[in-house]
């Protein structure tokens, strides 16, 4: 899929594929798109964005400030239903809960993900910034590499890689060793991120961004699926238009689990999102 | 309160004050102790440990692997009820939800905290450790300072400081500037942690530990209450006996919110817990 400058927030692949339809108060029908699958599952960030959209409709506030998702069973492309519950509607923050279900052979609902989130209005926050965090050092985009740049001898990603067509992901060469069969051994992954159709980022798409890079486990020499157990994302500022810089770090791989910390920076050098997930690794 | 070498896991202040009593399947009565209050609220880590104990009883697994808490209203010492729900009972991981309620003047339940957690069995995890994380550099305990060492000119903590009597907290002098009226400006806090009665750490007490240090905001020159919006904790290993080392870091203070990342290391240099919270700051 080529970049399409016409795609905008509200009119893009991402918006169409995260559409939710109100069935009854608090209950939303959705269709999980096959376009956001990777390896053998629907991408967890895409699913979180879809649930986040339902919560934005159900809650008095529009923007996820902190959203925690526990992944129960692997989602598959196809119909789904999101059931939301308003836990508390506050003045500056409101808290909600949501569950995404799919259907088994008998049409019974099977829960895939349960989410707890607090929403607010990013545009009402003071501009005061006293951060010591620095944007990740990533070479210019034209010196980074995307899925289309993969060498012929790159190990194939097992299963689906459909999501790579939806993302304009350009990886920092220094975190690309895994693609050349020579992982660095460091739990780091850095990339420039844009949606392939040119749609700019907003708070909901940031929920996709934090889980969109190849797993740090690849650079640790562990290819294969690293299923997310839990993912919590803080949205700290509305992202400015333009490409995002994303860095993911794993410091503690132990006991068959690892954490993945993601930072997302916008084109104005603001830290717009922080996330941490606990994932399982299949140690060979 | 003096250290009491007789206190053990199961027989200690912490165990007595986090006791839950089964009222009916999935519903537990509890008494929030005034002994764990700080400033104008019951400590959020103590509350999380109490909820974590209820979930450990309700779920097929005993150990919290990842537990996310959204704090809705400030808890007060006194009676509370915890309502749990088993979301999924898996073989290696089970997921549960819990809400802690207290009572208003009319005896109606008021929700204080809602929690989503995945539990497992830490003792079944492989020993494989491939971590790049390093323990925090903290001077020896006898070169660190506790509440009893506060100089006469130290600014008094507003409100209650009862919890300081329950904790044998020894702060790294390099993160103590705030207590001398000279905050470092760095969002760092490091300390040795033990329970005052000598009870060793276990996975449940780690839920207290991650929220037990003075807020990093103090070292950023912001005294006063920093209410937690959301706190997610990963328990990565059963802690060895002996004092713990805790480091808390804030990198992004912006828009009236900050994140606090905590790491807890045991006496065998293992990273036993990682947590991140989103908290609100009252910018003067």
Which residues in chain A are closer than 8 Å to B278, comparing Cβ atoms?
65-66, 234
What is the DSSP code string of A219-266?
HTT--S---EEEEEEEE-SPPPSS-EEEEEE--EEETTEEEEEEEEE-
Q: What is the mean pLDDT of chain B?
A: 93
Q: Report how far apart, in Å, the C-alpha atoms of A201 and of each of A9, B71, B220 are.
A: 8, 29, 31
Could you read off the pLDDT of A207-250 as tens digits, one per residue?
999 999 999 999 998 887 799 999 999 999 999 999 999 999 99
Q: What is the pLDDT of residue B8?
A: 96
A232–B234 CB contact, under 8 Å: no
CA distance A177 to chain B (A): 18
- A6 pLDDT band (50/70/90 cuts)? confident
CA distance A122 to chain B (A): 8
- B1 pLDDT band (50/70/90 cuts)? very low
Could you read off the pLDDT of A11-69 as tens digits, one per residue?
999 999 999 999 999 999 999 999 999 877 899 999 999 999 999 999 999 999 999 99
Give yes or no for residue A160 having a pLDDT over 90: no
CA distance B92 to chain A (A): 11
pTM value surpassing 0.90: yes
Give yes or no for residue B175 having a pLDDT over 80: yes
A257–B125 CB contact, under 8 Å: yes
Q: What is the pLDDT of residue B131?
A: 83
B88–A95 CB contact, under 8 Å: no
Mean pLDDT value of segment B148-175: 81
Give yes or no for residue A149 having a pLDDT over 90: no
Pick from A73, A91, A115, A132 the residue to mutate for testing the B interface (most B CBs within 10 Å): A132
- B153 pLDDT band (50/70/90 cuts)? low
A253–B65 CB contact, under 8 Å: no
Q: What is the pLDDT of residue B154?
A: 63
B186–A132 CB contact, under 8 Å: yes
CA distance B4 to chain A (A): 33
Running DSSP on this structure, what letter comes out for residue A185? S
Locate the chain B residue with the closest alpha carbon to A113.
B87
What is the DSSP code string of chain B?
----TT-BTTBSHHHHHT-EEEEETTEEEEEE-GGGEEBTEE-HHHHHHHHHHHHHHHSS--EEEEEEEEE-S---SEEEEEEEEEEEE-SS-EEEEEEEEEE-TTS-EEEEEEEEEEEE-GGGS---EEE---------GGGSB-GGG--TTSPPPSSB-THHHHEEEEE-GGG-GGGGT---SS-EEEEEEEETT-PPP-HHHHHHHTT-SPPHHHHTT--S---EEEEEEEE-SPPPSS-EEEEEE--EEETTEEEEEEEEE-TTS-EEEEEEEEEE----
Give yes or no for residue A88 having a pLDDT over 70: yes
B68–A255 CB contact, under 8 Å: no
B70–A116 CB contact, under 8 Å: yes
Nearest to A255 among B128, B220, B257 (CB): B128
Which residues in chain A are closer than 8 Å to B186, comparing Cβ atoms?
132
Could you read off the pLDDT of B239-248 as tens digits, one per residue?
999 999 999 9
- B224 pLDDT band (50/70/90 cuts)? confident
A255–B130 CB contact, under 8 Å: no
CA distance A265 to chain B (A): 12
Give yes or no for residue B161 having a pLDDT over 90: no
Which residues in chain B are closer than 8 Å to A65, comparing Cβ atoms?
229, 257, 278
Which residues in chain A are closer than 8 Å to B251, comparing Cβ atoms?
131-133, 271
CA distance A230 to chain B (A): 7
Nearest to A128 among B116, B186, B255 (CB): B255
Which residues in chain A are closer than 8 Å to B97, comparing Cβ atoms?
114
Nearest to B237 among A68, A132, A255 (CB): A255
């Amino acid at each position: 899929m080529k970049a399409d400058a016409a795609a905008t927030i509200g009119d893009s692949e991402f918006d169409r594929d995260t559409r939710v339809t109100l069935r009854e108060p608090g209950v939303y029908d959705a269709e999980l798109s096959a376009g956001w699958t990777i390896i053998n599952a629907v991408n967890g960030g895409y699913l979180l964005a879809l649930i986040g959209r339902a919560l934005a409709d159900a809650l008095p506030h529009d923007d996820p400030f902190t959203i925690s998702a526990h992944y129960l069973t692997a989602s598959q492309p196809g119909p789904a239903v999101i059931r939301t519950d308003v836990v508390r509607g506050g003045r500056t923050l409101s808290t909600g809960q949501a569950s995404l279900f799919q259907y088994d052979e008998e049409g019974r609902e099977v829960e895939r993900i349960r989410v707890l989130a607090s929403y607010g209005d990013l545009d009402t926050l003071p501009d005061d910034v006293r951060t010591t965090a620095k944007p990740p050092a990533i070479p210019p985009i034209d010196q980074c590499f995307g899925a289309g740049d993969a060498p012929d001898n790159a190990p194939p990603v097992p299963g689906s890689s459909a999501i790579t067509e939806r993302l304009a992901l350009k990886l920092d060469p220094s975190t690309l060793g895994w693609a050349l069969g020579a992982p660095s051994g460091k739990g780091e992954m850095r990339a420039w991120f844009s949606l392939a159709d040119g749609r700019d980022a907003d708070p909901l798409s940031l929920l996709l961004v934090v889980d969109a890079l190849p797993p740090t486990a690849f650079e640790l020499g562990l290819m294969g699926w690293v299923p997310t157990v839990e993912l919590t994302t803080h949205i700290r500022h509305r992202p400015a238009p333009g490409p995002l810089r994303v860095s993911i770090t794993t410091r503690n791989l132990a006991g068959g689990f690892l954490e993945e910390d993601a930072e997302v920076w916008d084109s104005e050098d603001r830290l717009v999102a922080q996330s941490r997930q606990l994932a399982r690794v299949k140690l060979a």
